[in-house]
Each structure stands twice: as C-alpha cells, then as structure tokens.
Amino acid sequence: MKKNITAGDTDSDKKPEKGKFKKPEIIGIIAGASGIGFSLIVPLVGGAFLGSYLDNKFDSAPKITLSLIFFGLFIGLYTMYKTVKDLLNK
C-alpha cells in the first residue's frame, strides 16, 4: 500500500523534486555570475583609476580618464561575452 504524503508530513526519506537545484549547482551558478560581474567591473574601475592618475600627472583633465573608462568598458564587455559564451557551451 502506498502512503499518501501531504503538505504537513515530514518524511525524511522523500526524494527531492525534479527540476530543483542541488547545492553544487547553485554554487556553480553563483560562481559564474560573480565571475561575469568581476569581468565587467575590474577593467572599468581599473581604467578609471589609471586614467585619473595619468590625468593628474600630465594635467590633461578628463581626456585620458574618459578614454580609459571607455576602453575598460569595451574590454569588460568583451570578457563578459566570452565568459557567458563559455558557460553556455558547458
């Protein structure tokens, strides 16, 4: 005879439902998402700091900073694209 399981039952030998994430899968998803975020933020912020330093050194106001911010944005977006492409191909 089958036992009917209702919402209030706490049966320890229940199998996990299909479609639910397992713990290692969740960790992998979080790691992938944080890698994508860092691949965009690091070149952008690096370009801003380096540009600010070079602008102060050469007294060229926002020219180098803006150039390196846009270059960092381009590099970050390209790296993010490659990361997402690699994650989807797995």
Helix axis angle, 23-58 to 63-89, nearest 10°: 160
pLDDT tens-place string over residues 5-22: 555 555 555 555 666 667
pLDDT averaged over the chain?
Answer: 84
Which domain covers residue 79, as residue numbers? 23-89
Read off the pLDDT of residues 30-41 as tens digits, 9 standing for 90 and up. 888 898 899 999
Q: Is residue 54 part of a domain?
A: yes
Number of domains the chain contains = 1
Please identify which residue in the block is written with the tokens 């952008």: 44
Minimal CA–CA distance to 64: which of 76, 77, 78, 47?
47
Task: Indicate whether 2 belongs to any domain.
Answer: no
- Per the CB < 8 A criterion, the answer to whether 75 and 67 are in contact is no
Question: What confidence score (pLDDT) does residue 76 get?
Answer: 95
Residue 16 lies in a domain: no
Q: Can you give the pLDDT at residue 63?
A: 95
